[in-house]
Amino acid sequence: MAHALESGASGAITKTAEDAELIAVIRRIAAGERFISPEIEKMLNDNPPVPKLTPRQLEILSYMIRGLTNRDISESLRISTDTVEEHVNLILAKLDAANRAEAVAIALKKQLLKA
């Protein structure tokens, strides 16, 4: 659902909506309004979408989960520590994490890496 709305869907309503409600929503959307039913809005707020990380960011995140430092990661991947630091900062921003530990906790909770 979140992906559909991010991609430009004008509205979302549950399958259980009454016919009259569905017609009213269609009219509102046709008039240029955006509509998200309260049930769907609650679902989206309770389960925010999983952030999209690039393959390289996921790779670096996997090293972070193992406790490696930026220097260790840079040596393993044969890239500069500045590049690793840039990726780590992007990971923190995408996960809305304050630090590496929080980023790791979020990644584990949301199962961002395949076992």
Query: Is residue 71 scored above 80 in pLDDT?
Result: yes
Cα–Cα distances in angstroms (integers) from residue 75 to residues 19, 29, 84, 91, in the given order: 61, 53, 10, 19
Closest CA to 85 of 66, 100, 104: 100
pLDDT in tens, 94-113: 998 999 999 999 898 888 88
The pair of structure tokens assigned to 20 is: 């009259």
Question: What DSSP character marks residue 59?
Answer: H
Radius of gyration of the chain (CA): 20
pLDDT in tens, 15-49: 888 999 989 999 999 999 888 888 888 877 776 67
Task: Answer yes or no: are the C-beta atoms of 56 and 87 closer than 8 Å.
Answer: yes
* Neighbouring C-beta atoms of residue 8, cutoff 10 Å: 6
Question: What DSSP character marks residue 105?
Answer: H
pTM greater than 0.75? no
